[in-house]
Amino acid sequence: MDQRTNRGDTLVSATIYLEGGGDSKELHARCREGFRKLLENSGFAGRMPRLVACGGRGEAYDDFRVAHREAGPAEYVALLIDSEEPVANLESTWEHLRQRDGWRTPSGAADRQVLFMTTCMETWIIADRQALAEHYGQAFQASALPPLDDLEHRPHDDVQDRLAQATQRCPNAYAKGKRSFAILGRLDPVTMESHLPSFSRVRRILKDSL
C-alpha cells in the first residue's frame, strides 16, 4: 500500500523508486532502510513516501515508467537515481537522461519526478566528513577524500575509489552492498545541503510534494 500524506487539504500518495539493492531481498531491505532514515532526518518523518528498492538503474527507470503510467492525479511518483555524470542543469533531469542514457521521457512526466544523486550516492556520503569519522572510527583517513568544493562535478569512479581508500583500514570498510547503505542514516542533511545542490533540490521538491 502506498504511503499517504496530507498536502494542504489534498491526500497524496507518494512512491519513490530507488536505484540500489542489487537482486536480493536483504539488500533491498537495507537500501530502503538507509534512505528511510536519511529522509526522516531530513524532516519527512510522519509524511514518508513509500520507498521501493529496484536494484539497477535501468530497473528503477522501468519500474518508474510503469508506476507513472498507472498513477492517479493525487499520486506523486519519483525516481531517485545516480546521475552517473555531472549535470549541466539540475532542473532539466529528463534532458540529462536523454543525452546520457537515451531514455525517453514518459508521457506527462515532469523534471521534478527525477531526483538525482549527483554524480552518485557516494558523492552524498563523502559530503559529511563528521558522520564518516564517527561511523568508521580512528582508522578512517579523511585525507584520502577529495576536497569538498565542487563535489558534484567529480567523476563517480574517483569518488567511489577515494571513499574506498579512506576506509580501507577500517573493519567496516566501505563496499557496495549492505555496507553501502549503513552510513546513510547517519548523514546530516544540513551539512549535505551546504555542499550538494542535488540534495538541496531533493529536499525542496519533497517538501512541495509530500
Domain membership of residue 88 (yes or no) is: yes
Domain membership of residue 145 (yes or no) is: no
**Structural domain boundaries enclosing 60:** 3-120+182-209
pLDDT at 1 over 70: no
All three cell numbers of 157: 569512479
pLDDT band at 22 (very low <50, low <70, confident <90, very high): confident
Find all residues with CB under 8 Å of 192, minimum gap 6, and list them: 124, 127, 128, 199
Domain membership of residue 26 (yes or no) is: yes
User: Is the entire prediction scored with pTM above 0.95?
Assistant: no
pLDDT in tens, 81-125: 999 999 999 999 999 999 999 999 999 999 999 999 999 999 999
Domain membership of residue 94 (yes or no) is: yes
pLDDT at 5 over 80: no
Domain membership of residue 177 (yes or no) is: no
Domain membership of residue 35 (yes or no) is: yes
Sign (positive or negative) of CA dihedral 82, 85, 86, 90:
negative
The pLDDT value given to residue 12: 67
pLDDT at 4 over 60: no
Largest Cα span, the chain: 52
C-beta of residue 49 within 8 angstroms of C-beta of residue 3: yes
Q: Quote the crossing angle between the two packed helices 129-136 and 156-167, to the nearest 10°.
A: 40
Domain membership of residue 165 (yes or no) is: no
* Averaged pLDDT for residues 25-34: 94
**pLDDT over 70 percentage in the chain:** 94
Domain membership of residue 106 (yes or no) is: yes
* Averaged pLDDT for residues 37-61: 96
pLDDT in tens, 157-206: 999 999 999 999 999 999 887 788 999 999 999 999 999 999 999 999 99
Domains in the chain, number: 1
